Chains A and B, each alone.
Chain A
Amino acid sequence: MATEQLSALPVKEVELSVESVSKRFHARGKFIEALSSVTLGVRSGSFVAIIGPSGCGKSTLLRLIAGLEEPDDGVVRVRNERPQTFRARGQLGIAFQDPALLPWRSVRRNVALPLEVLGMPVRDHRQRIESLIELVGLSGYADAVPSQLSGGMRQRVAIARALVTNPSVLLLDEPFGALDQILRRSMNQELQRIWMASPTTALMVTHSIDEAVFLADQVIVMDAAPGRIRDTITVSFPRPRSSALFAAPEFHLVCDRLAAKLEVCGAS
């Protein structure tokens, strides 16, 4: 599906909905308001990036959608279901900043892990696992264990793992945060290719302005203390976006606009 069409789509069914969600943590006797009355809707098939200063609750928001945390107030729904119900059907894929691979499992068996947790027969998915390993460029490494791979390769295993259940919702929590700029850019392009090859709604938390602008249809700007949504900007570059876009003046214009909004956040 080409993206000129996608951004022109009328408001379709909402895939992810977060309504007036608040989340507090207590640390050392103090309550920290991680999220304060956050409302957000993500359309099916879109790529949304969340950006903001440290402590703005962007990772908490992702964890709420993954059902790893429960909101104190408000409602989180994934396709009109509780995240815990939705994820049990294997429709959710997730990748974290750390690849979080099981160090004792080979690449192939790490990619297969979600199937095993969901109780699906791995045998029926052999072909999919192999093609995913190929998709992330790791053919020939299927039997290697994580300690034999470089940081970028491990992160690609984590991406393949996130895709193995053919998820309709993909959650990415700074998946390339630990990589250097050069590797990160090539991973961005790979991610775009993978995402365009499968009809998936993606929500990505990031620290990087150009990563957000390069990948997303929409960038949500968050602010800290308490964590809340400050602004949303739409990015409408045609897809597939190539690496030439990183050098384009219009790309930098959007980046500057985003940076300005983030500076306002930092100042307040």
Chain B
Amino acid sequence: MKINGHTQTAFWLLALLLWEGVARISGAVRATIASPTLILAQYWSNADLFVPHVLATLHCAGLGFALGSLVAVAAAMLFCRFPVVEGAFRGINVALFAMPPIVVGPVLAILCSDDLPQIILAALVVYFPIMAAMLVGLRDTDPRLLDVIRTYGGGWNAVLRFARLRSALPALLAGLRAAAPLAVLGAMLGEFGSGVRWGLGSFLLGSLGDADPARLLSIGLAATAIAAAGYGVFAWIGRRTVGTTMSVTLAPDRSPDQITGEGPYSLAQRMALLVGAVMLPFLLWWLLLRLSHISPIVAPSPVDTLVYLVSGPEGADARQALLVALSHTLPLAALGLFTGIAAAFLLAALTVVCPQMAKAILPLALLLQSMPLIALVPVVLLLVGRDTAASVMMAVLVVFFPAYVLLSQGFALVPRPACELIEVYGGTRAKQLKLVSVPYAAPYIFAAAKLVAPRALLGVMVAEWLLTGKGLGNLLNVSRGSLDYDMVWAGTVTSIVISIAVYEAISWIERVVG
């Protein structure tokens, strides 16, 4: 079957009609996944609610996006100019890449008020993908162009002005495009943490109790629509200005390892950089608190937090609470991660045998991988309920689509001659898959794991916070509600440290195996 734009549109229209029809006939279906007309009716009848909620989220996501992308572009230029600075900031970059942003919300809500927590969280979430894309774009500038400019006496600034900035533009636009939906996610996660009145996150939080499917899905769809609009704006600008290419469309987000520039550093210099990279986040944390004159009771320093956990009077209880929460959350995240990646790998492998399938699934996966994962909460709640299964399903869903996009790219990069060799000897597609494609694509599993492991943790924590009431997500939510500042900080820092450890562990396995 040949799949083109029209057949796809027809397919989706048919699916919508089927959904509507089944929901009209069956009350049970109507009670779980509503129907398209019921969802649309929500926007009409509750416009007085939707308009301010949407505007509040848009406002924070937009400001956060602007702030985050400005910082990201400036940082990328700085890192490109002085690779040592990038080395020193590696700790911060990995933390921003790997941390589950939901844990930062409560801390931000302690440090500042009004819209600021949501704006800052949106900025923190968009920083890494934009910075990474811009830095790679700046670095990947054709070295021969640089030679030409340098031959005419052009220094670093001339090279930046005439070559690097312009040739980084497609990468920057791809980064902005990927980050726009994340800004919506960041703003909504910030709303959970700060508990503000307006915003789609708050709207969702307040509507979970009623479990009205039409209401929940309409909120999820509204968030998705804003995210998709952000994505669409930059996709359009990209097409208009630089002529988007397939490789840019497919390029997955990058992990910190993929942007590290190599330098001819000695062992001693590398050790110094490593120590600096580990110390810098804590140093900034301490400095920020010193400069902002916030009471140490609500905002403890790194040392205070360590003391609280290790030798403080509540230390034993705090450790116990964290341990219980972690032993609930981490296995679920791991389970979700493995299941999601395994499913993605299987499906990507299947598309080698049946290439038409890839054509049908890939556009959908590309769209869904940039969907703000909070929009999945209603779907998970309506399908699975508030069980532990909700956490796993959430993790699987947020892992699956990006992993699938990356892995099918891995399968697509298998050299053709290698496949044709099998074909020449009369091998079937299945044989080709076994002998060539799978061994070639297997290393991409680690790249995918590195990219989606933070999402798995975030997915589980979002489900815990909103649905199941267990684990680390719940611990943070409860501590936030009961103004247990020490616990909020300890929980946040522990989550970030664990995320970094997981990231580094996967990188290490990748290096050993690869």
A104: nearest residue on chain B (CB-CB)? B166
Contact of A118 among B150, B152, B166 (CB under 8 A): B152
Known: A96-B144, A117-B158. A102 touches B151 (CB 8 A): no
| Closest Cβ–Cβ distance, residue B149 to chain A (whole Å) | 5
CA A161 to CA B154, docked complex, whole Å: 15
Instruction: Give 1 or 0 for each of A63-104: 1 = CB within 8 Å of chain B CB.
Output: 100111000000000000000100110101010101010111
Tell me if B145 counts as interface (CB < 8 A to partner A): yes
A116 at the A/B interface (Cβ < 8 Å)? yes
Task: Report the minimal beta-carbon distance from A106 to chain B, rounded to whole angstroms.
Answer: 14
With most chain B CB atoms within 10 A of its CB, the pick from A88, A92, A116 is A116
CA separation between A66 and B152, bound complex, in Å?
A: 9
Task: Say yes or no: B151 contacts A66, CB within 8 Å.
Answer: yes
Residues 92-130 of A, flagged 1 when their CB comes within 8 A of B and 0 if not, give 101010101011100000000110111000000000000
Question: CB within 8 Å of A: which of B152-170?
Answer: 152-154, 158, 162-163, 166-167
Residues of the B chain whose Cβ atoms lie less than 8 Å from the Cβ of A67: 150-151
Within 8 Å CB of B154, what residues of A? 117
Chain B residue with the shortest CB-CB distance to A115: B152
Q: Across the interface, do B149 and A68 meet the contact criterion of CB distance under 8 Å?
A: no
- Pick the residue among B142, B144, B162, B167 that contacts A117 (CB under 8 A): B162
List residues 165-185 of chain B with CB under 8 A from any CB of chain A: 166-167
Partner of A100, one of B148, B152, B153, B158: B148
Which partner residue on chain A sits nearest B154 by CB separation?
A117
Q: How many whole Å from B168's CB to the nearest CB in chain A?
A: 12
> Known contacts A117-B158, A117-B162: does B145 contact A102 (CB below 8 Å)?
yes
Q: Given A84-B153, A92-B152 in contact, is the A100-B162 Cβ separation under 8 Å?
A: no
B149 to A117, Cβ gap below 8 A? yes
Chain B residues in 8 Å Cβ range of A171: 151
Is B144 within 8 A of A100, CB to CB?
yes
Shortest CB-to-CB span from A81 to chain B, Å, is: 12
Q: Is B423 on the interface with A (CB-CB < 8 A)?
A: no
Q: With a CB–CB cut-off of 8 A, which chain B residues contact A116?
A: 162
A102 touches B153 (CB 8 A): no
Bitwise, A33-77 to B at CB < 8 A (1) or not (0) is 000000000000000000000000000000100111000000000
User: Is there contact, CB below 8 Å, between A114 and B152?
Assistant: yes
Residues of A within 8 A of B166 (CB): 102, 104
- How far, in angstroms, from A96 to B163 measured CA to CA in the complex? 17
Expressed in whole angstroms, the Cα–Cα distance for A68 and B146 within the complex equals 10
Residue of B nearest to A110 (CB): B148
- Residue in A88, A96, A98 whose beta carbon sits within 8 Å of that of B153 in the complex: A88
Kindly list chain B residues whose C-beta atoms are within 8 Å of the C-beta of A113. Answer: 148-149, 152, 162
CB distance from A24 to the nearest CB of B (A): 14
CB distance from A105 to the nearest CB of B (A): 9
Best-buried of B149, B150, B152 by chain A (most CB within 10 Å): B152
Instruction: List the B side residues contacting A84 at CB < 8 Å.
Output: 153
Docked Cα-Cα span, A104 to B154, in Å, equals 19
Task: Tell me, yes or no, whether B420 is within 8 Å of chain A by CB.
Answer: no
Closest to B166 in A: A104
B147 on the interface (CB 8 Å rule)?
yes
A67 CB, min distance to chain B CBs, angstroms: 7
CB of B153 within 8 A of CB of A94, answer no
How far, in angstroms, from A87 to B155 measured CA to CA in the complex? 12
- Contact sample, A vs B, 6 pairs, CB 8 Å cutoff: A63-B147, A68-B151, A92-B152, A94-B147, A100-B145, A100-B147
Interfacial residues, chain A to chain B (CB-CB below 8 A): 63, 66-68, 84, 87-88, 90, 92, 94, 96, 98, 100, 102-104, 113-114, 116-118, 161, 165, 171
Given contacts A103-B167, A113-B152, 13 further A-B contacts (CB under 8 A): A92-B152, A100-B142, A100-B145, A100-B148, A102-B163, A104-B166, A104-B167, A117-B149, A117-B152, A117-B158, A161-B148, A165-B152, A171-B151
Residues of B near any A CB (own CB < 8 A): 142, 144-145, 147-154, 158, 162-163, 166-167
